[in-house]
A = this chain, B = another copy of it.
Amino acid sequence: MDAYKSSVDFAEATAFLSHACYEQDKMALRATLKNKSILSGLLSRLSSCSSHGRVCVSPVLVAQRRNNSTSPKLKVDFNQSTGVAVMHMQNPPVNSLSLGFLTEFCIAVEKLEMDKSCRGLILTSSQPKVFSAGLDIMDMYGKKLEQYEEFWRAVQEMWLKLYSSNMVTIAAINGSSPAGGCLMSLSCDYRIMADNPRYSIGFNETQFGIVVPVWCKEAMTTIVGHRNTELTLELGLLYNPSDALKIGLVDQLVPEDQVLATATKTMTKWLAIPDHARRITKSMMRKPTIDKIMSIREADMQQYISFISKDSTQKMLGTYLEMLKKKRG
């Protein structure tokens, strides 16, 4: 297989770095991450305000406009009879993984995890054309050291929670899913993607001078192997659904309007397996990776803070944001 050709053309590669404000969510996050058992009341503390985000469909770059909404960024539909929860991400316009969103996400997953009647989780997007655009660039620019730490801890937490979930987790990828969105998908047990050639999935970080964390590499390697991971991460490749299927980055393609229905049907098959046996097996498969990540978690944090707070990194991000502003005119 010509892995190189199977990637999208560089010139067409699209960045989905995005940003959103999340002022009201910070206290909630702090409480969550410092004391994960305190779940009560956090969601209700998120104050509400009007949203005025919109998708900027520049041919080269898409980024999230300021979005002051702190209305729930997730809609969770839990079906008691099937034991399956569907989590709709609704952080307009592109489900960027802001500190606020990640906080809400971690709380929601933990809630379901603790509910013994919930056995399966389907993750999907309420936003058109995008599953998730990845990490919110606004949480990575012009902040204090402790804010960078807070954000990165939330990113680590999101991955750990999803990757080590006892539930069956299925990503119903109904839109583009670059960078952090791809990581989120990779953390699930199974990936179903809309067969729309305009959507893409992968890790385009290096194209913008950014480097993915090592746990991203570990998780991806277990799915698509070392060589595909090497090519993807070094070249910052995004794949169209058909190429993503070829290398195993997603498991199945279906027409766009059947993504959720197929996820639901697939979930039934996974839930036919006795829970305890499936869980022990899942742990057997993933524990080595989780253990490795846990052992380097603080080193990874220091590495991130050091990298993101560098003058050169901040300057690069600043230039990038300026460019976005001008594009919007």
Hey, which bits of chain A sit against chain B, CB under 8 A?
1-5, 10, 189-190, 205-212, 214, 217, 221-227, 229-230, 233-236, 245-246, 248, 251-252, 266, 269-270, 272-274, 276-278, 280-282, 284-285
Contacts and interface: CB of A to CB of B under 8 A. Distances in A.
Nearest to A189: B234
A276 B234 CA distance: 11
A122 to B, nearest CB: 15
A261 B180 CA distance: 36
B1 A245 contact: yes
Contacts of A280: 211
A217 B282 CA distance: 11
Nearest to A222: B226
Contact of A207 (B10, B223, B227, B273): B273
A251 B3 contact: yes
Contact of A273 (B4, B5, B236, B272): B236
Contacts of A246: 1
**What DSSP secondary structure best describes chain A's contact surface?**
helix
B285 A217 contact: yes
A281 B234 contact: yes
B274 A206 contact: yes
B222 A284 contact: no
21 contacts: A1-B246, A1-B248, A2-B245, A3-B251, A10-B269, A206-B273, A206-B274, A207-B273, A209-B277, A210-B277, A211-B277, A211-B284, A217-B285, A222-B227, A223-B227, A227-B248, A233-B281, A234-B270, A234-B273, A234-B278, A234-B285
A315 to B, nearest CB: 13
A209 B1 contact: no
A65 B189 CA distance: 38
Contacts of A211: 277, 280-281, 284
A4 B206 contact: no
A235 B285 contact: no
Given A10-B272, A209-B276, A234-B273, 6 more contacts: A205-B277, A207-B274, A217-B284, A224-B227, A233-B285, A234-B270
B285 A229 contact: yes
Contacts of A3: 248, 251
A278 B206 contact: yes
A245 B3 CA distance: 10
Nearest to A228: B248
A66 to B, nearest CB: 27
Contacts of A235: 269-270, 273, 278
Nearest to A9: B269
A296 B321 CA distance: 47
Nearest to A247: B1
Which A-B residue pairs are the 10 nearest by beta carbons?
A222-B226, A209-B274, A206-B277, A209-B277, A230-B285, A211-B280, A234-B281, A233-B281, A206-B273, A2-B252
A4 B277 contact: no
A4 B252 CA distance: 8
